[in-house]
């Protein structure tokens, strides 16, 4: 019944209605003498009826935006007082136009249609009131005049209702546009959160897996070979520093809300494989055929991150001491395959679709590729196919994995 409305807007509506009341009430009393217009009551009663009707109708205008339903009811009450006094249309009835506009612009669905019905019914009543007050002679004259006046009255009352309907459509369009803008912002923020979470998982999970493996090795080697333990701890420190640098870069991107900053490429794969070897897992890498040039940056980043996560899973869940990595750089795509042995207990978390598997799939899907991660007998296998799109830029061959030749296995 009552809409939220600021005090300033309500004060402006009350002041505007008061000014209209002060303008149209004297006009109704001076230029349209109630004593002459009314045939049913005495002049003092008619004057009182005009004043009461004006108060009610302009009061309805004052609360039109705040409570359109209440305003329509009060305006009808004022019109009934005017009809009971035998008065025809007066200048004060301009307030009814404002109330009908309010019902169409700000009323609920029920009030919206009630305003339209009021315009039609009010137009008919006004026309009949004019006909009978003026005492038209002849049935034909009464009917003709009543029809004409009904059409004019309904159009007069319907015009502000249509204006309010137009403003209602404008408000609805604005609300829809704002909701769409908020949804787009929320979707962009969600995508940014997912991207940062994916990058954070790739960096932190891999680095922690290497650190844990190295720390366990250092603990066992400390008793028999302190020198090896010291070298292992140095590797741990180096890996931790690299992870800290990557995390700081991600936080900088989050703070500035943009994806600037260096990203890993296939030239960094040899360093990734070396970290895996230092963690105690022998990476046997085969690249055949080699990339004929420089692949797009997005493809290089996806290849690096997918291999990083697949090797991290091999470190955490693998049961063997080797992992096979195969890269095939075709003219239109690159194929990735990572195989490692797993035990019965280790296969479940790796293949259950955790954050790592989901992250790898998202990496592939972002550039239009596909990825499948599944158990194959005693091995867990990650297959990926990433489209390259446009032809490679001419560049030095062999830059992908530190100069490894085509078809060569590194131990």
Total number of domains constituting the chain: 2
Neighbour tally for 190: CB within 10 Å: 10
168 lies in the same domain as 292:
no
Dihedral sign, Cα of residue 235, residue 236, residue 237, residue 240: positive
Apex CA 407: angle with CA 405 and CA 411, to 5°? 80
Bond preceding residue 289 cis, omega within 30 of 0:
yes
pLDDT in tens, the chain (411 residues): 788 889 999 999 999 999 999 999 998 888 776 655 555 667 788 889 999 999 999 999 999 999 999 999 999 999 999 888 888 788 999 999 999 999 999 999 999 999 999 999 988 888 887 776 655 545 555 676 677 778 888 888 888 999 999 999 998 999 999 889 888 888 877 776 777 677 777 667 667 777 777 777 777 766 677 777 777 777 777 777 766 766 666 666 555 554 445 678 888 899 888 888 877 788 899 998 888 778 888 888 889 989 988 888 888 887 778 899 999 998 889 999 999 988 765 444 444 445 678 878 888 888 889 999 998 888 999 999 999 865 444 444 334 443 333 344 333
Do 128 and 274 lie in a common domain? no
Let me know whether 34 and 166 are in one domain.
yes
Does residue 33 sit in the same domain as residue 173? yes
Q: Rounded to the nearest 5°, which phi and psi values hold at 123?
A: -65, -40
Q: Say yes or no: 159 and 282 in one domain.
A: no
- Res 348: pLDDT: 43
pLDDT score at 198: 72
- Residue 38 CA to residue 53 CA, distance in Å, equals 14
Q: Is residue 368 classed as helix, strand or coil in its secondary structure?
A: coil
Instruction: Look up the CATH number of the domain holding residue 407.
Output: 3.30.565.10
Looking at the domain assignment, is residue 170 inside a domain? yes
Pair (36, 162) in one structural domain: yes
Domain membership of residue 249 (yes or no) is no
Helix (H) or strand (E) holding 316: helix 297-317
**Cβ atoms 110, 71 nearer than 8 A:** no
Cα 363 from Cα 87, distance rounded (Å): 78
Is residue 40 located within the same domain as residue 169?
A: yes
Q: Which domain-ending residue is among 180, 214, 229?
A: 180
Question: What are the distances in angstroms from CA 192 to CA 35, 152, 251, 264, 398?
Answer: 76, 60, 12, 19, 34
Q: Residue 188: exposed, middle, or buried by beta-carbon count in 10 A (0-12, 13-18, 19+)?
A: exposed
Which residue is associated with the tokens 């897992």? 281
The dihedral over CA atoms of 385, 386, 390, 393, expressed in degrees to the nearest 10, equals -100
The residue among 151, 180, 209 that closes a domain is 180
In a domain? residue 222: no
Neighbours of 391 (CB within 10 A): 10
The candidate with the shortest Cα–Cα distance to 110, out of 77, 70, 79, 75, is 70
Residues 156 and 54 in one domain: yes
pLDDT the model gives residue 245: 67
Q: How far apart are CA 46 and CA 34, in angstroms?
A: 5
Residue 276 domain flag: yes
156 and 29 housed in the same domain:
yes
Q: Is the bond into 328 cis (omega within 30 degrees of 0)?
A: no
Question: Do 176 and 300 have their domain in common?
Answer: no
Instruction: Supply the DSSP string of 192-222, one letter for each residue.
Output: HHHHHHHHHHHHHHHHHHHHHHHHHHHHHHH
Domain boundary among 144, 159, 180: 180
| Whether 159 and 291 share a structural domain | no
> Would you say residue 102 lies in a domain?
yes
Quick one: which of 367, 371, 368 has its CA closest to 383?
371
d(CA 368, CA 215): 39
The whole domain housing 85 covers: 7-180
Please name the residue that has the structure tokens 């980043």.
301
Specify if 374 maps to a domain.
yes
């Amino acid at each position: 019944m009552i809409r939220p409305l600021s005090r300033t807007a309500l004060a402006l509506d009350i002041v505007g209605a008061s000014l209209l009341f002060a303008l149209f009430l004297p006009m109704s009393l001076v230029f349209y003498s109630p004593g002459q217009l009314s045939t049913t009551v005495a002049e003092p009663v008619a004057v009182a009826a005009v004043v009461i009707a004006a108060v009610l109708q302009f009061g309805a205008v004052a609360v039109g935006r705040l409570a359109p339903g209440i305003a329509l009811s009060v305006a009808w009450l004022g019109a009934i007082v005017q009809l009971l006094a035998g008065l025809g249309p007066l200048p004060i009835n301009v307030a009814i136009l404002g109330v009908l506009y309010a019902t169409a612009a700000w009323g609920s669905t029920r009030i919206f249609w009630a305003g339209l019905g009021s315009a039609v019914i009010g137009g008919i009543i006004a026309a009949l009131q004019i006909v009978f007050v003026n005492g038209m002679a002849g049935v034909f004259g009464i009917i003709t005049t009543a029809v004409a006046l009904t059409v004019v009255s309904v159009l007069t009352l319907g015009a502000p209702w249509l204006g309010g309907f137009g403003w209602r459509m404008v408000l609805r369009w604005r609300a829809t546009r704002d909701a769409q803008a908020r949804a787009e912002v929320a979707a962009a923020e969600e995508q940014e959160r997912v991207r940062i979470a994916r990058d954070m998982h790739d960096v932190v999970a891999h680095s922690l897996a290497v650190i844990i493996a190295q720390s366990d090795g250092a603990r066992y080697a400390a008793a028999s070979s302190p020198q090896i333990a010291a070298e292992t701890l140095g590797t741990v420190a180096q890996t931790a520093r690299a992870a800290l640098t990557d995390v700081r870069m991600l936080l900088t991107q989050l703070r500035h809300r943009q994806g600037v900053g260096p990203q890993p490429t296939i030239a960094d794969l040899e360093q990734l494989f070396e970290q895996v070897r230092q963690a105690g897992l022998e990476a046997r890498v085969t690249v055949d055929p080699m990339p004929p040039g420089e692949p797009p940056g997005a493809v290089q980043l996806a290849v690096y991150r997918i291999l990083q996560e697949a090797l991290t899973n091999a470190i955490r869940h693998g049961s063997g001491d080797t992992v096979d990595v195969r890269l095939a750089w075709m003219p239109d795509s690159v194929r990735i395959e990572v195989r490692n042995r797993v035990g019965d207990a280790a296969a479940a978390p790796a293949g259950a679709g955790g954050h790592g598997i989901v992250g790898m799939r998202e990496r592939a899907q972002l550039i239009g590729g596909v990825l499948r991660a599944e158990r194959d007998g005693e091995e867990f296998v990650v297959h990926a196919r990433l489209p390259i799109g446009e032809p490679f830029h001419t560049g030095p061959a062999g830059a992908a994995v530190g100069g490894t030749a085509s078809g060569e296995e590194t131990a």
